[in-house]
Amino acid sequence: MNRSLHAATFVVVDVETTGMSVREGGITEIAMLKVRNGLIFDEFVSLVNPEISIPYVITHLTGIDDEMVAGAPTAAEVAPVIQEFLGEDIFTAHNAPFDHGFVNGTLVRGDCEPMTNIIVCTCKLARRLMPRLPSKSLGPLAEAMGIRNHQRHRAAGDAYTTAQILIKFLERLENEFDVADVGGVMKFQ
């Protein structure tokens, strides 16, 4: 919690899923980007075979279909990689409870321990930093901040967009609110 903002590593995560329920569904794609001191320095991106049929509405939204994930690793196969990549770093996502729930569900399905990482939510930060913006969802927020998402509703595109938002938000927190460490970010959000 007392790690300085410049020394802390934030792992920005985005998942595409078969629906809204962790119990009944699964991840179809995951992207994780490591951010430290304003730079993205590592990434992991993978399709994931949810071992259930992907509903048409999800395929229409994401472009991910059953054929695309047929040869992808299952939750059990990708869980140890996710756990290792996350390590003890700060789990960061836009609408973090959603992504966190699905990542934890994947870890449990893969016989890994659930996460205990600190969680930062860029949507919560947006509510405090951009209160007049009518919608805090990823698309309108990115547009308002001049960030272009080249792959909307795909894990890599949304994670990259979220990482750019995080970098700008951390800069603002430091410069405008004198937030110098992770604990300050946690209190602010």
Quote the pLDDT of residue 76. 92
Quote the pLDDT of residue 27. 97
In whole angstroms, what is the distance from residue 141 CA to residue 165 CA?
A: 8
What's the structural domain count of the chain?
1
- Does residue 52 fall inside a structural domain? yes
- With 80 as the cut, is the pLDDT of residue 135 above it? yes
> Could you read off the pLDDT of 161-187 as tens digits, one per residue?
999 999 999 999 999 999 999 999 999
Q: Single out the residue of 76, 89, 95, 77 nearest to residue 115, CA to CA.
A: 89
Give the predicted TM-score (pTM) of the model: 0.95
- Does residue 152 fall inside a structural domain? yes
- 50: domain CATH number is 3.30.420.10
User: H or E element: which one contains 31?
Assistant: strand 27-36
* Structural domain containing residue 100: 10-188
- Does residue 27 fall inside a structural domain? yes
Residue 150 — pLDDT band, cuts 50, 70, 90? Answer: confident
Quote the pLDDT of residue 23. 87
**What residues are annotated to the active site?**
153
Decide the pairing of beta strands 90-93 and 27-36: unpaired
* 145-162 mean pLDDT: 94
- Does residue 33 fall inside a structural domain? yes
Tokens of 74: 């299952």
Tokens of 144: 């308002």
Do the Cβ atoms of 55 and 24 come closer than 8 Å? no
Q: Single out the residue of 20, 16, 39 nearest to residue 29, CA to CA.
A: 16
